[in-house]
Amino acid sequence: MARILILISLLFMGSHLMAGTGLSFLTSNNQQSGLYQSSSLLRHYSSSHDTPRFSLTANYRVFTEYEPLNSSSSLYGYIDESSVSLNARLYSIKGIALRLGAGYKDLDYQISQASSFDYDALRRDFTFFLGVEKHFLVGAFDIYPGFVLPITFVGEDEIQTGSSIINQNIQNGDLVASAGVLLGLNVRLFKVIRLGTEATLTYNEFKQKILANFANTSEIKLQNLNYYVDLTLGIAF
């Protein structure tokens, strides 16, 4: 009888021990699962928190160019250009941004011919931008490649100086579509301020109209590829 009681007691203690071990194992697994879920949520929150949802950036550019305008190098152009644009971006959580922008460009240029007279002209063009970008956040820096489609309304060329035969402006009124790629870099300042630079390479088929009776032509085919660098300043939140 005593042996039976001892056997029952050992079985009872063993069952309690196994139950306690199983409960501890389940509790440990639940805790690890909870920690993993918390870690995943933290990473997701961090990514969503670092990527802005909207930004507004101003681009500014100034440059001067002097180049031959025909194959014989008898016709030259001197261009002083300044450009300002305002660009809005909408971001996805994965860093893809849709870009919409608008701006204007002021041209102060001179057309000269070695054996003839010169004339100066001013023109203002208006441009709309549509693009898509991929933004990579590295600490306080934002690096982004992208594609852009500028559509430019070419303004009227106002003639400033020249000989007595120059008595009219040049009527343009053309729409010029371009396609290009860009690479930008900006740094985050004071949480919402962005300061940086942006390089763009575009292609178009624009032909510059010139005055009648000048250089025996009515228009000049300019460079197909155009490269420029902007300074950028904006806010993002």
Higher-confidence position of 188 and 71: 188
The whole-number pLDDT of residue 114 equals 62
Strand-pairing partners, residue 44, are: none
Dihedral sign for Cα atoms in the order 112, 117, 122, 126: negative
Q: Per the confidence metrics, is the pTM higher than 0.75?
A: no
Is 57's pLDDT higher than 80?
A: yes
Higher-confidence position of 223 and 152: 152
Higher-confidence position of 48 and 87: 87
What is the C-alpha to C-alpha distance for residues 183 and 181, in angstroms, rounded to an integer? 7
The whole-number pLDDT of residue 210 equals 77
pLDDT grade, residue 222 (50/70/90)?
A: low
Angle (CA) 190 103 63, round 5°: 85
The whole-number pLDDT of residue 226 equals 86
Query: Comparing 44-53, 86-95, 205-214, 218-227, which segment has the lowest mean pLDDT?
Result: 44-53
Residues listed for the chain: 237
pLDDT grade, residue 40 (50/70/90)?
A: very low
**Per-residue DSSP letter, 72:** T
